[in-house]
Amino acid sequence: MTTGILSAMAQEQAGLGERLDEVRIERYAGREFHVGRWHGREVVLALSRIGKVAAATTAAALIERFGVSRIVFTGVAGGLHPSVRVGDTVVGTEFVQHDMDASPIFPRHEVPLYGRSRFPADAELTGWLAQAAQAVLDDSDLIDETTRQRFGLLQPQRLHHGLIASGDRFVSGAAESAALRASLPEAMAVEMEAAAVAQVCFDHGLAFAAVRNISDRADDTAHVDFDAYIQEVAGIQARALIAALLPLLPP
């Protein structure tokens, strides 16, 4: 079984490709795929780039060209639900495209001709991902105190499970995030890729799971220091999470 690991940002996979055994780099569809083995598991690491179409293209390549049989997505997201703070982690249980709207022909958010607005995460894969994510949050040595204070990370960083909303928009206004909360009250986080990958995996009958580190609150403060946050917090946690996840997967 080959596992595809998708990340939106280069900082999240930096250095991981080199740690694979028997690694080869294949360029395809304008992307680099690191194909190799880790702890005896076949893996392909790839960067999706940003947005739903870029993510769907990458997921389709992982499936059709590299034959992966499950896909895990790591990335950052804006916190939507009031309980979700910067530094927390959200594991997706379901995914919705918040900008899908073919109403009045189809209900708002419904993906036309699928008869559904939400695509599920695979429960088993999500369980392993949550276990790895919790291990990362419990590792107090990973992010030092100065960095925690700098980004206002409250302790403990918490793990949430729930709906993740994706759309082709960086949500960075209080009014916009309030509107999203009103239309999707259970949504924990907003980002730009996971629901697209979930749909591709649904089409192919593949297991999918996604985890998001909360980089901002999707409001007027999102995000002064986005790049620094990815570099100093989210990237470090994402790499640790992938390293913790792979040994949990059945070979």
Catalytic residue among 42, 88, 191, 216: 216
Q: Minimum distance between the CB of residue 219 and ligand SAH, rounded to whole angstroms? A: 8
| Tokens 């999500």 sit on residue | 126
Q: Closer to ligand SAH by CB, 20 or 211: give it.
A: 211
Q: Closer to ligand SAH by CB, 20 or 237: give it.
A: 237
Task: Report the alpha-carbon distance of residue 113 to residue 61 in Å, rounded.
Answer: 23
Considering only residues 226, 231, 243, 248, which one is a binding residue for ligand SAH as defined by CB under 6 A? 226
Task: Report the alpha-carbon distance of residue 56 to residue 193 in Å, rounded.
Answer: 8
Task: For residue 189, give both structure tokens.
Answer: 């986080």
- 12 has catalytic annotation: yes
Near ligand SAH by CB under 6 A, which window of 37-45, 70-78, 146-154, 196-204? 70-78
Helices (H) and strands (E) in the chain, counts: 8, 10
Considering only residues 45, 197, 218, 242, which one is a binding residue for ligand SAH as defined by CB under 6 A? 218
Asked if 216 touches ligand SAH (CB under 6 A), the answer is yes
Convert residues 74-113 into a mask of x (bound to ligand SAH by CB under 6 A) and - (unbound): -xxxx-----------------------------------
Task: Report the alpha-carbon distance of residue 122 to residue 105 in Å, rounded.
Answer: 30
Asked if 50 touches ligand SAH (CB under 6 A), the answer is yes
User: How wide is the angle at C-alpha 217 spanned by C-alphas 215 and 222, nearest 5°?
Assistant: 75
Asked if 170 touches ligand SAH (CB under 6 A), the answer is yes
First to last CA, the chain: 7
| CB neighbour list of residue 191: distance below 8 Å, 6 or more residues apart | 8, 75, 76, 77, 78, 164, 165, 166, 212
Near ligand SAH by CB under 6 A, which window of 102-110, 122-130, 189-197, 235-243? 189-197
- 110 has catalytic annotation: no
**Torsion (CA) 129, 5, 86, 226 in degrees, nearest 10:** 170
Residues that bind ligand SAH (CB under 6 A): 8, 50, 75-78, 170-172, 190-193, 215-216, 218, 222, 226-227
Annotated active-site positions, please? Answer: 12, 216
